[in-house]
Chains A and B, each alone.
Chain A
Amino acid sequence: MIYMDNAATTLHKPDAVKTAVLAALDTMGNAGRGASEPALDASRIIYGAREKLARFFNAESAAQIVFTANSTESLNIAIKGLICPGDHVITTVLEHNSVLRPLYECRERGAELSILGCDEKGNISYDEMEREVKENTKAIVCTHASNLTGNMIDLKKVGKIAGKHGLLFVVDASQTAGVWPVDVRENGIDVLCFTGHKGLMGPQGTGGMYVRPGVRIRPLLSGGSGIDTYNPHHPSQMPTALEAGTLNGHGIAGLSAAVSFLEETGLDVIRAKEQSLMRRFYEGISCIPGVKVYGDFGTEQRAAIVSFNIGDYDSSEVSDELNTEYGIVTRPGAHCAPLMHQALGTVEQGAVRFSFSYYNTEEEADAAIQAVKELAQE
């Protein structure tokens, strides 16, 4: 099997991740629940992961890193916990449903929403974004990279707009964390939402968020915290304020090992490999008659994603053919990105998405090019 659906989840994880999860299954008690060795062992591992992620994203301290199950949970906490009726929010058509649906819910409760369009290559206009700012604008919520085209949004530019107008800046780093460096302070990010199982190469069921000190988010969940038991309200201190119930300690042990692997390997090394594979594949298929590739490949600043269609073939059929005839795993359809597909005019056809990881090889990319060539000739 050639696995090229890494934008959905990275299938191949570093060995250290598997070792860490297995070890945790043998040793971990419940973090923050008592001072027994198993409980402390869990607390130490989870605190260590907070410290690593704080360093990874250049957060002020480990207490600003909250663990969740995935980006969707982080985005729900951030969006629903910050936006009130009457607030105006700016977002883009590049967004995944994990951003759009919570925002739509806010709109149904009385918030206003402006959704920035894109050009034919799938890029937004930063001038247009700034023109959308009005008196009641509370936040800009956007992705770092489209999960369909791979196009990236310049966080520094958006952070400057947010900073200039006193807006909250919430970022969905699902497609970039672990591959592209994200410095929360340099980019003026108030809330960064990430998942552990994609570029960070940790286990599924891990994710989290960075919250800038001073940003108060109404918790989505309340309940057990291991602290302040007789308080009828959930504690307000970070990170506990946004973590209710037992954390996924076993998964976080794996995520912690994954972050160490990324730091030891180097994001520049990982990114160079992914970019080279993406470029090789793009150049191999973009000249094939009948193949239409979506997104902007005129820049180095993009996620390692290549989405395309062959003629008017249904993307699901092409993806299924790639799977059954060539053993190549891709993702067809709508990719939970309805507005991006609408913008590209691919609602009916969907698109076939190839997404690369550090563990893919040039031989795999070449085999994928050959497969697309053969399918396009049929």
Chain B
Amino acid sequence: MRKKVLKLVVTFHTTADAMAMEKACKEAEVPGRLIPVPREISAGCGLAWCAPLSEREKLLVVMAEHGIEQEDLHECMLL
């Protein structure tokens, strides 16, 4: 198996919020992708936004600018 690294995982209440996040991050060229919610996280929506830890500030700015409501922001060991 590949080695796990610590990553940021943003969870959402709805799929619509998750899709808004993907669109906003793509437009702002903030790296990351939608993943199925890892099992250690309890989340409403089955989709989560996964990004490198270094992108935390940029992510928060994008979410604030687009009014995207996050459920929670986690740091998880992921592949």
Residues of A with Cβ closer than 8 Å to B?
31-35, 40, 43-44, 46-47, 50, 61-63, 226-229, 235, 237-240
Contacts and interface: CB of A to CB of B under 8 A. Distances in A.
Given A32-B46, A226-B45, A227-B46, A240 B14 contact: yes
Contacts of B67: 61
A67 B38 CA distance: 29
Contacts of A46: 19
> Which size class do B's interface residues fall under?
10 to 19
Contacts of A50: 16
25 contacts: A32-B15, A32-B45, A34-B36, A34-B46, A35-B34, A35-B35, A40-B22, A44-B19, A47-B15, A47-B19, A47-B20, A62-B16, A62-B20, A226-B15, A226-B46, A227-B13, A227-B45, A228-B44, A235-B13, A235-B14, A237-B13, A237-B44, A238-B14, A239-B16, A240-B14
Nearest to A61: B67
A344 B19 CA distance: 49
B22 A44 contact: yes
A51 B34 CA distance: 19
Given A47-B19, A63-B17, A240-B15, A40 B44 contact: no
Contacts of A228: 44-45
Given A33-B46, A34-B36, A237-B44, A227 B14 contact: yes
Contacts of A227: 13-15, 44-46
B7 to A, nearest CB: 14
Contacts of B45: 32, 226-228
B59 interface: no
Contacts, number: 62
B47 interface: yes
Contacts of B23: 44, 47
DSSP class of A's interface residues: helix, strand, loop or mixed? Answer: loop
A335 B13 CA distance: 42
B47 A63 contact: no
A243 to B, nearest CB: 10
B13 A40 contact: no
B18 interface: yes
Nearest to B35: A35
Given A226-B15, A240-B14, 10 more contacts: A34-B36, A34-B46, A35-B35, A47-B23, A63-B16, A63-B17, A227-B13, A227-B46, A235-B14, A237-B13
Interface string B1-38: 00000000000011111111011000000000011100
A35 B18 CA distance: 11
B15 to A, nearest CB: 4
Nearest to B48: A35
Nearest to A235: B44
Contacts of A239: 14, 16
Contact of B14 (A44, A229, A237): A237
A100 B7 CA distance: 54
Contacts of A35: 34-36, 46-47
B75 to A, nearest CB: 19
A40 B34 contact: yes
A62 B46 CA distance: 19
